[in-house]
Structure 1
Amino acid sequence: MHDLLDNIFWQSLSGPHARYATGTSNARRYAPGFSPIVGFPDPQQPDFAALRPFCEPGEHFYCDAWTGPAPDGWRIEAESTMLRMVWDGVAPVRDRAPDAVPLGPRHAVQALELARLTRPGPFGPRTIELGDYFGYFDDAGKLVAMAGERMAAAGLREISGVCTRPDQRGRRLAGRLMEKLVLRQLARGETPFLHVMRANTVAHDLYLRMGFRDYCETVVRIVTPA
């Protein structure tokens, strides 16, 4: 399992999520509309030339673990570090979000709007098709909190897209949604994992208290074809 986590972008794109991806045996990406993430068999030596035919000018992609100079025809737009965390806690006793609404294609516009407002990570209009997503709505029917699943590998399932509208924070809406997902994943025999930016200490501390532990810290870059 640890080997899978070491290169989870590639393991997901070439494995369980191959049907949502495009590329070659040397480079893959989620298809347009899904999360803009790319992966390589060896992330330390990414083959951007193999990836280029599957990308359009102006697209922006997230990649991890790679620290070399920008290859010809590509530009590095941002660089930071993130923590990859894996579940190491006790299973939640019960589902504390039984009233959460399953999100589907009809909620895609609102989910994308919430993601753009809160910036939980790479998110596209079809990201909620990658797994189970749940949300809470206010009395006016506006999506105010959500959490769902993104990457997958054998025995592993990522919790992602965790966000809450600023005016709804403090109610632990997203936390309850995360616990719901953890409970469902453990029941399926999967180990939950997630990513959090190193600078997001509030979220990191919350995930530690929930039962996640740090697995590794990795460079994350946003790149675009020049």
Structure 2
Amino acid sequence: MDHPFQHILDTPIWSALATRHGNFRQGGSLARRYCPEMSPFAAVVSDTTAAWQEFHQLLQPGEQARLIALNPIEPIRGLQAEQVAVLHQMVATIRASDSVHDAAVLRLNHLDAEEMLELATEAKPGPFARRTYQMGNYIGIRDRGQLIAMAGERMHIDGYVEISAVCVRDEYRGQGLAGRLVNVLRRDIEARGDTPFLHVRSNNQAAIGLYERLGFEVRQAFRLIAIKRTSIGSV
């Protein structure tokens, strides 16, 4: 069973890998992950010994993955778990204007991959790897040829698409660039019949305030957990 949960957004990583991002998944019926060059996120279908044993086999010794969970988790021996943040999941409750158009916003692709990684490394919007841009549509704004802001789509779930990697170079902050990008993505996602959602750290009040002004509401709070494989043994 792929969705033994109350709501598909309560397990967004598993839900994505079980639906529209199934072609990106590694793992089996109990534990799954994205390709590490795409995303560090992984998930288990349930907090059971069998699921954690399968999860253990997905990681190399010393390798780390990230999960999000509603409740505390207790992995098996050989896996070390550490909560690194609390995330607020926000969902768009007001549709973007159909008239949203921004001539300065550009579509990004593989030719922009190195610049996207450089910007994400500088601005630190969250996990962003060399192949993250392949997870969905990414857009950006340039100034004198330099990529100064970007945002994109990360997890794709039946009925929902996550907005992620919203970031702006330090010297261009305060100009409304992030809001412009989010609005363009929202319009595109909603035009396809999906609902936009996103995740933001609970202590990032500036970002939460921006998303609320753009029509997003907090739906759920999650634990962001880093899990590292510490040994060969799994029992």
Please, what TM-score do these two structures have when normalized by structure 2?
Answer: 0.89
Does the C-alpha gap of structure 1 residues 170 and 52 become closer, same or farther in structure 2, counting only changes over 3 Å?
same
CA contact (8 A) 2:154 2:163 kept: yes
Q: CA offsets per residue over residues 99-145 of structure 1, 9 Å max, x none?
A: 21211112111111211212211211111111100011221x32211
Q: Is the 8 A contact 1:96 1:179 kept in 2?
A: no
Separation (CA, whole Å) in 2 of partners of 1:113 and 1:78? 27
Q: Tell me, which stretches of 5 or more residues in structure 1 are unaligned?
A: none
Query: Partner amino acid for 1:151?
Result: M
- Cα distance in structure 1, aligned partners of 2:180 and 2:116: 18
Instruction: Write the letter of the residue equivalent to 2:84.
Output: E
Where does 1:75-114 land on structure 2 (aligned, <5 Å)?
75-114=80-119
Residue matched to 1:67: 72
C-alpha contact (below 8 Å) 1:84/1:194 kept by paired residues? yes
Residue 54 of structure 1: CA displacement?
2.3
Corresponding residue number in structure 2 for 1:122: 127
Instruction: Tell me the alpha carbon deviations over residues 162-181 of structure 1, each in whole angstroms, 9 at most, x when there is no partner.
Output: 01111110111121111000
- 2:42 is the alignment partner of 1:30: no
Give the corresponding residue for 1:19. 23
2:10 maps to which residue?
A: 6
In the alignment, is the contact (CA less than 8 A) between 1:62 and 1:122 conserved in 2?
no
Question: Residue 20 of structure 1 contacts residue 31 of structure 1 at CA under 8 Å; is this kept in 2?
Answer: yes
Question: Percent identity between the aligned chains?
Answer: 35
What does residue 157 of structure 1 align with?
161
Superposition pairs of residues 204-219 of structure 1, within 5 angstroms = 204-219=208-223
Q: C-alpha displacement at 1:33, in angstroms?
A: 0.8
Query: How far off its partner does 1:93 sit?
Result: 4.2
1:205 Cα offset (Å): 0.9
Could you tell me whether the CA contact under 8 Å between 2:52 and 2:75 is conserved in 1? no
Any idea what the Cα deviations from partners look like across 1:62-82, whole Å, max 9, x if unmatched? Answer: 101151345311223442211
Largest Rg, 1 or 2 = 2
How many pairs are equivalent? 224
State the alpha-carbon separation in 2 of the partners of residues 48 and 109 from structure 1. Answer: 35
Whole-Å separation in 2 of the counterparts to 1:69 and 1:6: 18
Q: Deviations over 1:143-162 (max 9, x none)?
A: 21100001011111110110
Counterpart secondary structure, 1:121: coil
Which stretch shows the higher mean deviation, 186-195 or 77-86? 77-86
